[in-house]
């Protein structure tokens, strides 16, 4: 305890630009999470629609795909792709990566990490979306069909707006998991917050360190706790506002995100 | 494909030992998670505001911190601070304490899923608070939490890969990586490691589904 709160061990926080260096790394994590989230939402919706399609072969393939990626550790997929991804894919990514991204995110290695996060999270989100769509009364889709709406019109106007509203809480808790999972790219050597923390606490030429490891990683942990708490607060706020706006109790989809924290009621 | 089978037979001992290590890691962490999770859930439903707040701080901290950061804190961080903690202790403690936050939340919501009227009824029949909790609330709470506990367990099996990657513990993924770097057969080595994980997550899925069909009540 004495060690933990010793002011000498916290001096690094205000020394030079150490804190700025950590925050710079943390920004990379946030960016990775956001890019992966957007791609996973698109991929997840496609997979969910495939699982609900009328074509049994498509249903089967999509179901097997989702089950495999959902049940493998995401770190496993990251490490595999980092080792096994063809060089041509990396080069293609490096050439195609938009210039506004920071340099760290333009390397081919990041593509392996992003692809792994998207494969995993799109499978999880697909299950959440499927449940959200299926939780709607069948009559809604039938009524829309009876009114002459095509499949895509039914999805866009009737089914998705309601289904997606029900999956908001589960999606936010998956986003929190995704945010935490971005630290895993540390293991394949991407310059994000945990790597920056390791640099700060690495032994230098004289055998000394710039900053104590325990304290640095407690600060890194706090960055995630604060961000993720804010995310869950925001989600609860949106849920309540939505309830007030529509005047109806929306029954959210639960139990399909990666880490469940509530019981179905 | 025949070379893939060959890789399996050649490296079976290594893969099996990795599988065994992951299994032990998961079982030990599960025990920690259940014990600590129950205690924290107890804090969160305790009659004192301060105890509730303490439980809340535990849950929000351990649920929102990345497991990788927790592992670095509990092993490298504590060792640099002079605490001689080994990789197994640090790994089991981190994975267990991390998962305990989820277990606590599930148990708490399981308790709250039992309607208030039942507790009032028990109290009016002359049960005291603890008796009502033990005889009326907990047996029902346990039954509603089987399914979410199952998905927590599966998530924990997957998270155990992070423990092996950060600490000196040779789990399935680590053994797979070692085989890949020794033989250059990355695809085959990772394929068999994946089979190991899918066996574990599949077994957990089946086991919890069995438990659920036997005991669960849906409301």
Q: Which domain holds residue B30?
A: 2-215
Scan residues 72-91 of A and list those with Cβ closer than 8 Å to B.
Answer: 72-76, 79-80, 83-84
Burial class from Cβ neighbours inside 10 Å (0-12, 13-18, 19+) for residue B41 reads buried
Residue A56 pLDDT grade (very low, low, confident, very high; cuts 50, 70, 90): very high
What mean pLDDT value characterizes chain A? 84
| Distance in Å, alpha carbon of B53 to nearest chain A alpha carbon | 15
| B71 has a pLDDT exceeding 60 | yes
Three-class SS state of B106: helix
The proportion of chain B whose per-residue pLDDT surpasses 70, expressed as a percent, equals 97
Q: Which residues of B touch A68 (CB under 8 A)?
A: 198
Q: Is the pLDDT of residue B180 over 60?
A: yes
Q: Are A48 and A129 in contact (CB under 8 A)?
A: yes
Of B66, B148, B155, the CB nearest to A263: B148
pLDDT for A253: 66
Answer whether A46 touches B (CB < 8 Å). Answer: no
Cross-chain Cβ contact B198/A197 below 8 Å: no
Beta-carbon count within 10 A of B54 CB: 15
pLDDT of residue A239: 79
Taking the Cβ of residue B60 and every Cβ of chain A, the question of whether any pair is shorter than 8 Å is answered with yes
pLDDT per residue as tens digits for the range A181-227: 999 999 998 888 998 888 888 877 666 667 788 889 999 999 999 99
More reliable by pLDDT, A265 or A117: A117
| d(CA A109, nearest CA chain B) in Å | 17
What is the structure's pLDDT at A57? 93
The reply to whether residue A260 touches residue B180, judged by beta carbons under 8 angstroms, is: no
* Interface contact flag, A184 B68, Cβ < 8 Å: yes
Say what the pLDDT of residue A18 is. Answer: 82
Q: Cα separation of B175 and B157, whole Å?
A: 16
> Distance (Å) from the C-alpha of residue A224 to the closest C-alpha of chain B?
6
* Among A184, A221, A259, beta carbon nearest to B65: A221
Closest chain B CA to residue A256: B151
8 Å CB contact between A193 and A183? yes
Indicate yes or no: CB of B202 within 8 angstroms of CB of A4.
Answer: no
Q: What is the pLDDT of residue A54?
A: 86
Distance from CA of A102 to the nearest CA of B (A): 23
- Best of A2, A80, A124 to disrupt the B interface (most B CBs within 10 Å) is A80
Residue A52, pLDDT score: 87
- Residues of chain A contacting residue B219, judged by C-beta atoms under 8 Å apart: 265
Pairwise CB contact (< 8 Å): A73 & B197: yes
With contacts defined as CB-CB under 8 Å, which chain A residues touch B78?
A: 214
Mean pLDDT is lowest, of A44-58, B32-46, B116-130, B148-162, for B116-130
Q: Does B106 touch chain A (CB under 8 A)?
A: yes
A133 contacts A52 by C-beta, under 8 angstroms = yes
Interface confidence (ipTM) of the complex: 0.87
Q: Is the confidence at residue A5, as pLDDT, over 80?
A: no
Comparing CB atoms, the residue among A79, A217, A221 nearest residue B177 is A79
Give residue A155's pLDDT band: very low, low, confident or very high (50, 70, 90): confident
**Which residue, among B15, B72, B155, B159, would best test binding to A if mutated, counting the most A CBs under 10 Å from its CB?**
B72
Given a cut of 60, whether residue A262 has pLDDT beyond it is no
Using the Cα atoms of residue A117, residue A73, residue B72 and residue B76 in order, give the sign of their dihedral: negative
Rounded CA separation A167/A160 (Å): 10
Q: Is any Cβ of chain A less than 8 angstroms from the Cβ of B216?
A: no
Residues of A in contact with B105 (CB under 8 A): 261-262
Question: What mean pLDDT do residues A86-101 have?
Answer: 81
Does position B51 have pLDDT exceeding 90, yes or no? yes
* CA distances from residue B163 to B69, B94, B121, B170, B174 in whole angstroms, order as listed: 11, 8, 47, 9, 10
| Facing residue for A265 by CB, picked from B73, B80, B113 | B113
Write down the pLDDT at residue A265.
39
The reported pLDDT for the residue numbered A178 is 93
The CATH number of residue B154's host domain is 1.10.3720.10
Residue of A nearest to B77 (CA): A214
User: Given CA atoms A225, A228, A233, A234 in this order, what sign does their dihedral have?
Assistant: positive
What percent of chain A has pLDDT above 70? 90
User: What does the DSSP assignment read for A45-60?
Assistant: HHHHHHHTSS-HHHHH
CB neighbour list of residue A133: distance below 8 Å, 6 or more residues apart: A48, A52, A159, A160, A163
Subunit contact B198:A83, Cβ cutoff 8 A: no
The answer to whether residues A179 and A28 touch, using CB atoms and an 8 Å cutoff, is no
CA distance B148 to chain A (A): 6
- Residues 93-152 in A contacting B (C-alpha not used; CB under 8 Å): none
pLDDT at A46: 94
**Which of A5-9, B5-9, B25-29 has the lowest average pLDDT?**
A5-9
Which tens digit of pLDDT belongs to each residue from A103-150? Answer: 778 788 889 999 999 999 999 999 988 888 888 878 888 888 888 888
Domains of chain A: 2-246 (1.10.3720.10)
The number of folded domains in chain B is: 1
B156 contact A CB<8A: no
From the number of C-beta atoms within 10 Å of its C-beta (0-12, 13-18, 19+), residue A213 rates as buried
Q: Identify the pLDDT of residue A251.
A: 65
Q: At which residue do the structure tokens 């092996």 appear?
A: B164
pLDDT reported for residue A91: 84
pTM of the model: 0.88
């Amino acid at each position: 305890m004495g060690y933990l709160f010793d002011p000498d061990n916290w001096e690094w926080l205000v020394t030079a630009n150490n804190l700025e260096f950590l925050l710079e790394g943390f920004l990379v994590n946030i960016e990775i999470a956001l890019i992966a989230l957007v791609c996973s939402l698109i991929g997840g919706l496609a997979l969910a629609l495939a699982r609900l399609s009328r074509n049994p072969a498509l249903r089967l393939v999509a179901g097997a795909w989702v089950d495999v990626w959902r049940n493998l550790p995401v770190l496993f997929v990251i490490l595999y792709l980092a080792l096994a991804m063809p060089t041509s894919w990396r080069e293609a990514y490096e050439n195609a990566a938009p210039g506004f991204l920071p340099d760290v995110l333009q390397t081919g290695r990041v593509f392996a990490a992003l692809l792994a996060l998207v494969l995993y999270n799109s499978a999880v989100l697909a299950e959440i979306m499927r449940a959200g769509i299926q939780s709607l009364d069948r009559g809604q889709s039938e009524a829309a069909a009876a009114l002459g709406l095509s499949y895509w019109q039914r999805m866009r106007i009737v089914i998705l707006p309601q289904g997606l509203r029900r999956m908001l809480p589960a999606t936010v808790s998956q986003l929190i998991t995704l945010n935490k999972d971005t630290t895993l790219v540390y293991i394949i050597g991407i310059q994000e917050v945990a790597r920056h923390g390791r640099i700060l606490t690495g032994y230098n030429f004289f055998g000394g360190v710039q900053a104590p490891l325990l304290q640095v990683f407690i600060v890194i942990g706090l960055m995630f706790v604060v961000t993720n708490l804010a995310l869950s607060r925001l989600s609860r706020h949106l849920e309540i506002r939505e309830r007030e706006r529509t005047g109806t109790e929306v029954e959210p989809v639960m139990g399909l995100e990666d880490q469940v924290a509530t019981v179905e009621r | 494909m025949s070379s893939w089978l060959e890789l399996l037979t050649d490296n079976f001992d290594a893969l099996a030992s990795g599988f065994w290590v992951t299994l032990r890691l998961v079982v030990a962490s599960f025990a920690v998670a259940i014990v600590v999770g129950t205690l924290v859930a107890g804090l969160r439903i305790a009659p004192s505001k301060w105890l509730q707040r303490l439980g809340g701080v535990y849950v929000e901290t351990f649920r929102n911190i990345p497991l990788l950061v927790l592992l670095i804190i509990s092993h490298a961080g504590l060792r640099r601070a002079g605490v001689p903690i080994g990789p197994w202790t640090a790994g089991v403690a981190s994975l267990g304490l991390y998962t305990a936050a989820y277990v606590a939340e599930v148990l708490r919501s399981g308790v709250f899923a039992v309607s208030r009227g039942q507790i009032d009824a028990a109290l009016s029949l002359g049960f005291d608070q603890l008796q009502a909790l033990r005889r009326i609330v907990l047996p029902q709470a346990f039954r509603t939490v089987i399914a979410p506990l199952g998905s927590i367990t599966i998530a924990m099996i997957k998270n155990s890969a992070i423990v092996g990657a950060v600490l000196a513990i040779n789990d399935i993924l680590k053994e797979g990586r070692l085989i890949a770097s020794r033989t250059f057969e990355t695809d085959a080595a990772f394929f068999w490691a994946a089979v190991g994980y899918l066996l574990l997550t599949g077994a957990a899925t089946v086991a919890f589904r069995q438990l659920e069909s036997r005991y669960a009540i849906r409301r």
